[in-house]
Structure 1
């Protein structure tokens, strides 16, 4: 499925090797300090589960057995390996479709010239950029491996990237213990979302596969997008003036009306999930994180500014600026709904796919309240 003419379209092993070789080294810590950080993150992850469930009033459905996806504290290389596995599993159908088009399409010659190894190197460069920025991640779709176990029920694990957490807490000059718990509260909220709402994983996967199934982009165009990002990262293609505002992200290669509709639904649900996690981490924070106000102020400023023009251009190309908007818009939606109908009223959002907010409702929470609760704000 991932090969064309006997040559892999993406050399996944080379992508991992490239990313782990190029990723920037983490902060300097002693062996004892590293051991303490890992142990503390694991303790905070356990404590966060109780805090999040009490605040959100979200529990395991009856008959689920209460099995929780594992919490894995990883380094940057571990994050790369986990994400390559998930990425490979998720886009397999798209690669199959691209393979079918390869035989008769003009893009076939370009693919043959680029080759799976070049594509693997370029993907690895992108992963090396991201691997030093992610603090934590709930992996919904990645398959379980010997090194990276998954949920006993199939799918799902929580990753905490220890070196990145240490680096950011030092950059922000905040209390390490408070910051680590604050991060765990956000990521634990994501784990709670998927364990307490069993239909959510299949719904999102179905939307993603529907999006990929409608893809009409030719292989050359997709590979060119990867190459643009990789060349920017390597310094070979400086961003043009205004590119971070006008350039297209990889996810914006949308060519059909059906894809636009799917992308709107995915944007809404991801805004909900990210905004809910931000709302919860700040809602629980004052009870258990004494310096939460200082952490939020400094972290928000860091999240908004990034690290300069190159970072801004790459964030645009990879769609990361859209993710920043999802945090902001989603948190506003959750806060407005909870203020109007309370936490139990908000939790009706998890009833079924039909009660998820639309993209328009994320921007106008009162419309969601009126549709689901039968009354408008006020």
Structure 2
């Protein structure tokens, strides 16, 4: 586990993930000092109006009632991060993206039985990526945030809850604002890096839409010493392959979301442990919790006493999610390599660049570390690619892709620990199935032969053979 969802726990849990300038203020685990400057600095709630110049309609944000995450705030926060470097997509870029995705689909046709999943193409700017993917993010994040807020509220002892009296007017909405600000910051950062609509491991675009982000494609290509159209085509192959998988494996998207939501359902906080922790934390604070000094409240939040503990059920959900994401990524790597090996001269170099990007924390790794505390392990990604590659070599592309026909056929996390053993078992299963089919065919043929023999004896009555045989059997000895 690399991080606790939505900023739970001490602020120095993962110092390497801090942004420049986000130094170690142990009393500000949620970044409230920046977001709610007037309150965190000891001012009044009214001072908040002057501390957020980016949002002209603060009152509207504070009155958000659309769910546990303030998505208006998230959208505005993400777009404000992107404003300085925003580049709208040009007509030439849209044409180039459409041609690359069409060519990618043609190259993929011979290497997978899954048909194209792209009905339309799009070249999104970074801002368009944020706006167009918000519905998918809402479906993924809202259940998790709702559970976090509920667990956090129910676990807060009465004494600590009463300490929030001076800011009671905004505490009811602070969760939505906090999550909205955090999600907005994460989406803004992701929009700077994602090159396709499936770059985070999930299909975020509307169904049937293949997407590249030209500005980020150009940034990805910078310094690779490969032609721009070659890099674009490589990324188009990855997008087209992912679209095929999610379009024609109908349960896959839901399984990924269910794994996240299963984790959310397991979020619980031990109230007795919280009360003990708060008592200890308050005893360590000079003067205890001072309602007139919100920094003491933030110090309580930053002490880690409200950190939810992971349950065995959550661990299983995270492991399932990690395995599914690795299998998707490994399959995409495999089919793209098959499609590009004889056509794209720089494929090996580009594939290696993509592997290094993942190993150093690409968009998928950042997203799920932020959302559910999941750190994708590069070893699992390599093992998943090994499974798909070996399946292709030993059993063919059709047998490889048939594993996606049902979730129970896919390798488990334990199978990925021994990927070649899993592939070998598939061969044994195929042989057993073939033997079973041969036995069934033999039995059917034997039965058919028996039926034909019986029919012949009956039908022979027309030529007298059957009657003669019967007369011979019935005739007594000596009466010829």
What is the TM-score with the length of structure 1 in the denominator?
0.71
Q: What secondary structure does 1:287 align onto?
A: coil
1:359 corresponding residue in structure 2:
413
Which string of whole-angstrom CA distances, capped at 9 and with x for unpartnered residues, describes residues 55-100 of structure 1? 112237xxxxxx7454332111122223332121223333444454
1:163 corresponding residue in structure 2:
215
The 1-side partners of 2:154 and 2:83 are apart by: 41
Kept in 2, the 8 Å contact 1:8–1:115? The answer is no
Which string of whole-angstrom CA distances, capped at 9 and with x for unpartnered residues, describes residues 335-375 of structure 1? 12222222222223112111011012123123323444436
Q: Does 1:58 align with 2:114?
A: yes
The 1-side partners of 2:361 and 2:154 are apart by: 43
Which string of whole-angstrom CA distances, capped at 9 and with x for unpartnered residues, describes residues 227-265 of structure 1? xxxxxxxxxxxxxxxxxxxxxxxxx97722122222222
Change (3 A) 1:161 1:118: same
**What are the ranges of 5 or more consecutive residues in structure 1 without an aligned counterpart?**
61-66, 143-147, 222-251
Displacement of 1:315 after TM fit? Answer: 8.1
1:240 corresponding residue in structure 2:
none
Q: 1:87 aligns with which of 108, 127, 137?
A: 137
Output aligned runs, 1:7-156, within 5 Å. 9-23=68-82, 26=85, 34-59=90-115, 68=118, 70-98=120-148, 100-101=150-151, 104-106=154-156, 109=161, 112=172, 114-138=174-198, 150-151=206-207
Kept in 2, the 8 Å contact 1:272–1:331? The answer is yes
The 1-side partners of 2:128 and 2:341 are apart by: 32
**Count of aligned pairs:** 320
Change (3 A) 1:18 1:345: same
The 2-side partners of 1:38 and 1:5 are apart by: 36
Kept in 2, the 8 Å contact 1:15–1:122? The answer is yes
Q: Does 1:291 align with 2:350?
A: no
1:278 corresponding residue in structure 2:
333
Q: 1:267 aligns with which of 315, 318, 322?
A: 322
The 2-side partners of 1:300 and 1:193 are apart by: 20
Kept in 2, the 8 Å contact 1:135–1:183? The answer is yes
Root mean square deviation of aligned Cα: 3.8
Kept in 2, the 8 Å contact 1:172–1:299? The answer is no
1:184 corresponding residue in structure 2:
236
Change (3 A) 1:124 1:297: same
**What are the ranges of 5 or more consecutive residues in structure 2 without an aligned counterpart?**
1-61, 165-170, 275-306, 431-480
Displacement of 1:300 after TM fit? Answer: 4.0
Kept in 2, the 8 Å contact 1:270–1:326? The answer is no
2:26 corresponding residue in structure 1:
none
Displacement of 1:185 after TM fit? Answer: 0.5
The 1-side partners of 2:153 and 2:311 are apart by: 23
Which string of whole-angstrom CA distances, capped at 9 and with x for unpartnered residues, describes residues 81-124 of structure 1? 23332121223333444454465331895864844334322322
